[in-house]
Amino acid sequence: MELGQPLGSVIEGSLSQGLAVRLHPDVSVEDMRVGKFLVVQGRRSRFFCMLTDVALGTASARILANPPEPSNLFLQEVLAGTGTYGTINLSPMLMFTPKDASVPAVWSADRDRQGPARKSSKATLANYQAQSSADVELLPVKTIPGHFSQVYDAAERDFRVVFGWADDPHRRNFVIGQPIDMDVPICLDLDRFVERSNGIFGKSGTGKSFLTRVLLSGIIQRRAAVNLIFDMHSEYGWEAMSEGKHFSTVKGLRQLFPGQVQIFTLDPEATKRRGVRDAQELYISFDQIDVEDLTLVRGELNLSEASLENAIILRNEFGKGWVNRLLSMTNEEIQDFCETKMGNKSSIMALQRKLTRLADLKYIRAACPHNYVGQVLEALDGGKHVIVEFGSQSNLLSYMLATNVIARRIHASYVKKADRFLQTKNPSDRPQQLVITIEEAHRFLDPATARQTIFGTIAREMRKYFVTLLVVDQRPSGIDNEVMSQIGTRITALLNDEKDIDAIFTGVSGAQSLRSVLAKLDSKQQALILGHATPMPVVVRTRGYDSQFYAEVGTTAWEEMPDEPLFKAAEIAKADLGF
């Protein structure tokens, strides 16, 4: 059986530090790139590894002290491979172990070359998929290969076994990208992705919004969950500007999935100017604002601890209408209130003065004739994906206040639904999985406020109430460590700040080797994915968000699929609900 041309031999290593490999003389060290995937063929198991470092070695210190002249190419070639050589460090991620102990974990390169892209028959493809998963068992790495084990390029079938197939009828797999040096799809298991909170991180300009749109499109297309997206900069709904020298736009989720996505707007005028004609208006009344919401925006409103304590006294006295009551109180009424309820007059007057800023927000009303948040809930219950656009109301005060108010009420509704489902055990009572997407996540989840905001609660509760977060942020170091440890899958573009890099690897084993991989990412369209939805850390070239993506993922592409995959998806959904 063929494995291709060997690249090098294992010369030393350990389970904790990884493997050191000496490259063969005919292999150029320049062909080895950090993040590349290689396999090491042991006697019984095949080790799937990530390349984490590249180095040069010499057999003698005399060569370093007296290197050959640049013009002496003959001596350089004589030394190459013997006196001088290249080395690479590998981090083993998974082991392929044959289910039949008498069969080595090796397969033919000829069979690899007959991959699914070259198969015309669905039956043949299904057979190939079955062979990929049935021949070997994927196990965590608990040992290492012996000395002089040979190292090879990872083949297409290796990737298929590890990351699955995009059209696997048993899982909702979604192609997120490709390895940096191969044309093989890397899939995320969306069922595992949505059952925990997740994060998309990267410094400004690395394409976080584009990557978020790709992921949300996959969740919508594969019907893995319903989405509630708080769109701070109006980038996800109808259309958005693409990055580059020339002006152009890309489609939003509403254009890709017109019958499945509903837009609510906090600034109807701005939304209409952008060409969206059927967005629903959304307003928030003062009686929907609680002290918890003010705690989140205390920095934006410059509220003191004393003001918040007196806000609690006011709420306990006047109930839901405490903000309206406070704003209408005269100095004499405040004085009388403080004398009878042990309040602080100066703190209450300062609170009154600062809350008048809220009346300037376009979406704030003293009272609302309709329950607008209830309309959002009805859309989500109906299987619609909801995007809340902020338009010109995208400053931090406006974004943080509205997001917390809406999310708190929706979470409370889901808690009731989850409790009812646990009581009745009726599949029809099971809430549909909800993913809430927020930007500038460190503003909601910083250590000072994470325990007091609804988003900190959602992140810690994880899937208990069928609500999870998708946080998008360029400063993961600003997020509370406890919350970061609950992030199931982390998709990280390039980061430069050491604190941010440390935060990404909170609670991750083998983080040291992955740090070098993250530091070497390109600034565009590359990301390191690790966590719950993928069997091992992987560096990918992310999918482009372009016309090809629209054709493959949009509603038209989904509706034109053969009936058989759709029936399979329906069977998966029934199985998930316990039918």
Which pLDDT value is given to residue 107?
46
Q: Please state, rounded to an integer, the average pLDDT across all residues of the chain.
A: 82
Within this chain, do residues 65 and 24 fall inside the same structural domain, yes or no?
Answer: yes
The number of C-alpha atoms within 13 Å of 199 and in the hemisphere containing its C-beta is 30
Q: Tell me: pLDDT of 355 over 70.
A: yes
Q: Tell me: pLDDT of 386 over 90.
A: yes
Question: Does 97 reside within a domain?
Answer: yes
**Tens of pLDDT, residues 152-165:** 998 888 888 888 88
Average pLDDT over residues 120-145: 60
CA 461-469-551 angle, 5° bins: 145
Question: Does 173 reside within a domain?
Answer: no
Closest CA to 515 of 537, 536, 541, 486: 537
pLDDT band at 470 (very low <50, low <70, confident <90, very high): very high
Question: Does 577 reside within a domain?
Answer: no
**Tens of pLDDT, residues 10-33:** 999 998 889 999 999 888 888 898
Within this chain, do residues 96 and 206 fall inside the same structural domain, yes or no?
Answer: no
Query: Minimum mean pLDDT among 77-81, 148-152, 258-262, 409-413: which range?
Result: 77-81
- The two structure tokens encoding residue 163: 């990351």
Cα–Cα distance, 39 to 467 (Å, whole number): 38
Q: Tell me: pLDDT of 150 over 90.
A: yes
Distances (CA, A) of 208 to 77, 147, 437, 492: 46, 42, 12, 9
Within this chain, do residues 75 and 143 fall inside the same structural domain, yes or no?
Answer: yes
Cα–Cα distance, 339 to 74 (Å, whole number): 97
CA 304-308-311 angle, 5° bins: 140
Question: Does 575 reside within a domain?
Answer: no
Which pLDDT value is given to residue 138?
82
- Give the contacts of 44 (CB within 8 A, at least 6 positions apart): 97, 98, 101, 104, 105
Q: Tell me: pLDDT of 210 over 50.
A: yes
Within this chain, do residues 387 and 353 fall inside the same structural domain, yes or no?
Answer: no
Question: Does 543 reside within a domain?
Answer: yes
Number of folded domains that form the chain: 3
Average pLDDT over residues 454-476: 85
**Tens of pLDDT, residues 301-310:** 888 999 999 9
Q: Tell me: pLDDT of 560 over 70.
A: no
**Tens of pLDDT, residues 219-250:** 999 999 999 999 888 888 888 777 655 667 88
**Tens of pLDDT, residues 29-52:** 888 988 889 999 988 888 999 898
Which of 360, 390, 408 is the endpoint of a domain? 360
Which pLDDT value is given to residue 444?
85
Within this chain, do residues 435 and 311 fall inside the same structural domain, yes or no?
Answer: no
Give residue 336's domain range: 286-360
Which pLDDT value is given to residue 563?
43
**Tens of pLDDT, residues 58-67:** 888 888 777 8
Within this chain, do residues 196 and 305 fall inside the same structural domain, yes or no?
Answer: no
Question: Does 147 reside within a domain?
Answer: yes
Within this chain, do residues 336 and 385 fall inside the same structural domain, yes or no?
Answer: no
Which pLDDT value is given to residue 247?
67
CATH of residue 500's domain is 3.40.50.300
Average pLDDT over residues 490-501: 90
